[in-house]
Homo-oligomer: A and B are copies of this chain.
Amino acid sequence: MAKPLVAILMGSDSDYDYMVEACKSLEKLGVSYDVLVSSAHRTPEKTQKYVRSAKKRGIKVFIAGAGGAAHLAGVIAAETILPVIGVPIPSTSLNGLDSILAIGQMPGGIPVATMATGKAGAKNAGLLAAQILGVSDAALSSKLLKYKKDMAKEVDKKDARLREAHAKNYPNK
Does chain B have a CB within 8 A of A40?
Answer: yes
Does chain B have a CB within 8 A of A56?
Answer: no
Q: How far in angstroms is the closest Cβ of chain B from A26?
A: 9
User: A163: which B residues are within 8 A, CB to CB?
Assistant: 35-37
The reply to whether B105 and A173 contact each other, CB–CB distance below 8 Å, is no
Q: How far in angstroms is the closest Cβ of chain B from A76?
A: 10
The reply to whether A124 and B101 contact each other, CB–CB distance below 8 Å, is no
For residue A89, which residue of chain B has the nearest CB?
A: B93
Given contacts A95-B95, A135-B60, A170-B27, contact A113 B116 (CB under 8 A): no
Given contacts A20-B166, A46-B156, A109-B124, contact A92 B117 (CB under 8 A): yes
Does chain B have a CB within 8 A of A139?
Answer: no
Number of interface residues of A (CB under 8 A): 97
User: A145: which B residues are within 8 A, CB to CB?
Assistant: 81
Q: Mark A8-51, 1 if CB is under 8 A from B, else 0.
A: 00011100100011010001000011011111111111100000
Interface residues of A (CB under 8 A from B): 1, 11-13, 16, 20-21, 23, 27, 32-33, 35-46, 60-61, 67-71, 74-75, 77-79, 81-83, 85, 90, 92-98, 100-120, 123-125, 127-128, 131-136, 141, 144-145, 147-148, 151-152, 154-156, 158-159, 161-163, 166, 170, 173
25 pairs, A vs B, C-beta closer than 8 Å: A12-B158, A13-B161, A23-B173, A36-B162, A40-B74, A42-B154, A44-B75, A44-B79, A46-B152, A69-B105, A69-B107, A81-B147, A83-B131, A83-B132, A92-B116, A92-B120, A100-B101, A100-B104, A104-B104, A105-B116, A108-B124, A111-B127, A113-B113, A114-B114, A132-B135
